[in-house]
Structure 1
Amino acid sequence: MKTYKVNKVDGNHIKINGRGDHPLWEKAIVLNDFLSPWHFESVGDIEFRALHDGDSLFVSYKVNDTHLHIDSTDDSKESVNNSDRIELFLRSDRHLNPYYCLEIDPLSRIQDFIARPNKEFDFSWDWPKKDIAIQSYIAPTYFCVEVALSMASLKKFELIQTDGTMEAGIYRAKYNQQQNGQFEPTWITWVDPQTSSPDFHIASSFGKLKLDNY
């Protein structure tokens, strides 16, 4: 299983602003080996970083993209589902019963839901508002999304193992306009799930986050 080390920083010092420019992000390992096993085109540069301070898990995505597709119908989860976005799935074990999905677009809008095997999704579920913070930023050639999750919520959902590891899926959905004018997603992932068609809702698409000094 692919593993990413989440370095620890001093508590109460990192502040997310959506730009990914806080000096402490320099202490994070850059994860950029993303791919789309089902498409031939380049997936573009994507940088994922994660840090923790013992009280919160911080993640940052920087995605090179000059042609964003954003469904601006409203702020519903359905609009997020039709937009370019980053995705973070977290599970307690490989049985996926349950697992938690965070899908966030460049406007900081979130589609969060709890899921179970065979793509049983409950979109009425939300990550507790007091336990999550989201900031984003759009530049001419890229966008950034930063997320802070409380360790209390991660423990409540049994997402941190006794050895300080978490099992996570790290993904991106990029919508491209087709010849018929419709927009279709290119699915991009950190871990190749070895499936014939795109599928993130499967145990083999997850990797491991190792919390340093946890």
Structure 2
Amino acid sequence: MELKTYDVKYCGNTGLKVTGNGTDAAWDRAVVLSDFISAWDPEPVKKIEFKALWDADNLYFMFKVHDNEVHVDKTDNTNASINESDRVELFFRSDADLNPYYCLEIDPSPRLMDFKAYPNKKFDFDWNWPHGDIIIKSQIEDTFFVVEGAISLKSLRDLKLLKDNKIETGVYRAKYNKLPDSSYEPTWISWVNPQTSTPNFHIASSFGVFKLCND
């Protein structure tokens, strides 16, 4: 099956400044990815805008998530707390075997839960993205939040994720909704419909492909 494709435009030799507010003029060159769905929830998904660009050194990404009820669990700064918060996610794989693949889950703070994963949801939380090869910043406003970052192309190559100017990628969002008993439950949102009966991003069918374009 042919993978859904997103064109990552080249942003030039001057690069892009990651500030967390997504206002660098270079972002005007990017293709806006906004066709997100929740395959397991009939309610409409609030607007999510994702953009990516690249230069000689980095892959840049930016989420603008329209939401006036952002939930961040402030119990502590552990992965468990991030896992109970609104967040955006990028997964990268070297091939459809998912052996391994790499996960970045980022809440609006921004706190990063990065880990290496294997088929059947086997997670290695002792693994972290190579130090110095990822920058993440964010900003929360009244009606939206922004998560913006840069990932070095070197790290993507070293992990065998960038091949022939393509990166097989999953793009996701977890939205935590407050229930009448003051607990929270997530709505799972993705760029690609995984075609599963229950929510599951940790599956080959949830990935698309980023194509690095020279224009």
Corresponding residue to 2:129 among 127, 151, 164: 127
Task: Quote how far apart the aligned CAs of 1:181 are.
Answer: 2.5
CA distance in 2, matches of 1:160, 1:211: 9
1:206 maps to which residue?
A: 207
CA distance in 2, matches of 1:36, 1:101: 20
Task: Quote how far apart the aligned CAs of 1:173 are.
Answer: 0.1
1:42 maps to which residue?
A: 44
Q: Indicate yes or no: 2:96 matched with 1:100.
A: no
CA distance in 2, matches of 1:104, 1:24: 23
Give the letter aligned to residue 175 of structure 2: K
Question: Percent of aligned positions with the same letter in both sequences?
Answer: 53
Give the letter aligned to residue 168 of structure 1: T
Give the letter aligned to residue 91 of structure 1: R
SS at match of 1:93: coil
CA distance in 1, matches of 2:111, 2:78: 8
SS at match of 1:187: strand
Matching of residues 1-214 of structure 1 within 5 Å: 1-161=3-163, 163-213=164-214
Instruction: Provide Cα deviations, 1:159-183, integer angstroms capped at 9, x if missing partner.
Output: 011x211100000000001233210
Contact 1:11 1:55 in 2 (8 A): no
Task: Quote how far apart the aligned CAs of 1:195 are.
Answer: 0.2
SS at match of 1:154: helix
Task: Quote how far apart the aligned CAs of 1:43 are.
Answer: 1.3
CA distance in 2, matches of 1:67, 1:81: 17
CA distance in 2, matches of 1:49, 1:210: 13
SS at match of 1:16: coil
Give the letter aligned to residue 81 of structure 2: S
TM-score, normalized by length of structure 1? 0.97
Task: Quote how far apart the aligned CAs of 1:13 are.
Answer: 3.0
Which consecutive unaligned segments of at least 5 residues does structure 2 have?
none
CA distance in 2, matches of 1:30, 1:208: 15
SS at match of 2:95: coil
CA distance in 2, matches of 1:37, 1:11: 39
Give the stretch that moved more between structures: 78-87 or 9-18.
Answer: 9-18
Equivalent pairs counted in the alignment come to: 213
Following TM superposition, the consecutive aligned residue runs of length 4 or more in structure 1 with deviations greater than 2 angstroms are none
